[in-house]
Structure 1
Amino acid sequence: MSPAYSTTFAVLDIRPEPYAVTPILSARVGIASVGDEPVHAIALRAQVRIEPGRRGYTDAESAGLLDLFGPRERWAQTQRSFLWMHCATTIPGFTGGSEVDLPMSCTYDFEVAGSKYLHALQEGTIPLQFLFSGTVFIRGSTGFAVQQIPWDREDRYEMPVTVWRELMAAHFPHAGWVRLREDTMTALTAFKAQHGMLGFDDTVAQLLATAEESA
């Protein structure tokens, strides 16, 4: 942006959205602008990344992260920042500063790296990095001006693990999601019907018990 105008962003809080049909976190973002003209609107985008190297892990958490990062002795090479999600919102006009809610749609699919990581955590915080981008529309005395949010606008936030667990407990109490191939799902459905089982949870439990007996 020009030297006469700039906008900065800071993540103030993250909480579960209580009335959403699907799992959504709401990030409260503070915005500060420096310039003479009021902001007409901002089309804000954010890339949210997880930075696993910014925190420590218990032995139990380390076991849950084996699939993602390998054994602990390799973490110096494997624990890199990775993308969790993209999110966006439109911010109405303001002068000087404002606060807005940035919706963050989440998934509990264990095949997704972010969900695997979050599921393994038992305590502490989740180290997040927000990389902001988008377009600022400024209304001046001679009309509108359009400026891009600079590439270096970012913020870090330590989200408590309890926030994630509260969100998942509200939408999937005592449950999780595993993605299966279509042919695997067909075979599992047939096994369930042949053995008169009511649900897939009972079906998988029976298969696990049979496998343990055969081991």
Structure 2
Amino acid sequence: MCPAYSTTFAVLGIQPEPYAASPTLSARIGIAMLGEEPVHAIALRAQVRIEPHRRGYTDEESAGLIDLFGPRERWRDTQRSFLWMHCATMVPGFHGGAQVDLPMPCTYDFEVSGSKYLHALREGTVPLIFLFSGTVFIRGTTGFAVQQIPWDREDKFEMPVSVWEDLMSAHFPDAGWLRLQRDTVEALAAYKSGHGLLGFDDAVLRLLEDSS
């Protein structure tokens, strides 16, 4: 018979991971468990969603969110919670409570809704909700018991916009990232060379000037 337990999770903070090779945030997760037996390990997973309706927006931010939500007068219908990422980690054994760092790999690809949303923000916080799931391995006197984390374990967190900005500044200083099809890249490279331009920034700026 599996021992009775109750597990809760809380997001204590989020900060950039300074030594990651690619953009990664680190969420500090507090875990509390009520039960008679120690925890051997937890295979912890989390779905991280953005809940845009939980904050207000300046006119400048609204302009950057048109692609996601349309004009402001439609936001009551269009501002729905959406997935930012899935992340996971292994929690080592503990008894009663523990804290663990949950890696949150990020991208600056503007084809991803989360990146597009975060790029539009200028101040305040990012309204996140963590939906936790996974498997708890309990070590008892008669062996191991395995139980699933209940589906209703969640926690909301207001991540400062500055945390995202610091992460992107560390990996893409004064730059952004766009994904283009190969034909587009080749055409842009040919335009750059044909006009004697030094870089792709110069080519894009010339094209923007010509179209205005």
State the partner residue of 2:87: 87
Aligned-partner Cα distance in 2 for 1:206–1:198:
12
Q: State how 1:64-143 maps to structure 2 within 5 Å.
A: 64-143=64-143
For 1:202, the aligned partner's letter is D
TM-score w.r.t. structure 2 length? 0.97
- C-alpha contact 2:61 2:120 (8 A) present in aligned 1: yes
Q: CA RMSD in A?
A: 1.0
Quick check: 1:197 aligned with 2:185?
A: no
For 2:144, the aligned partner's letter is F
Per-residue deviation, 1:195: 2.1
Q: Deviations over 1:29-50 (max 9, x none)?
A: 0000000100000000000000
Quick check: 1:28 aligned with 2:28?
A: yes
For 2:99, the aligned partner's letter is E
Aligned-partner Cα distance in 1 for 2:202–2:139:
61
Aligned-partner Cα distance in 2 for 1:4–1:138:
10
Per-residue deviation, 1:4: 2.0
Quick check: 1:45 aligned with 2:45?
A: yes
State the partner residue of 1:162: 162
Per-residue deviation, 1:189: 1.2
For 1:39, the aligned partner's letter is V
TM-score w.r.t. structure 1 length? 0.96
State the partner residue of 1:147: 147
- Structure 1 unpaired stretches of 5+: none
- C-alpha contact 2:3 2:37 (8 A) present in aligned 1: no
Aligned-partner Cα distance in 1 for 2:131–2:189:
43
Q: Deviations over 1:57-80 (max 9, x none)?
A: 111111111110001110010000
> What secondary structure is seen at the aligned counterpart in 1 of 2:108?
coil
Aligned-partner Cα distance in 2 for 1:209–1:74:
32
For 1:103, the aligned partner's letter is P
Aligned-partner Cα distance in 2 for 1:17–1:199:
31
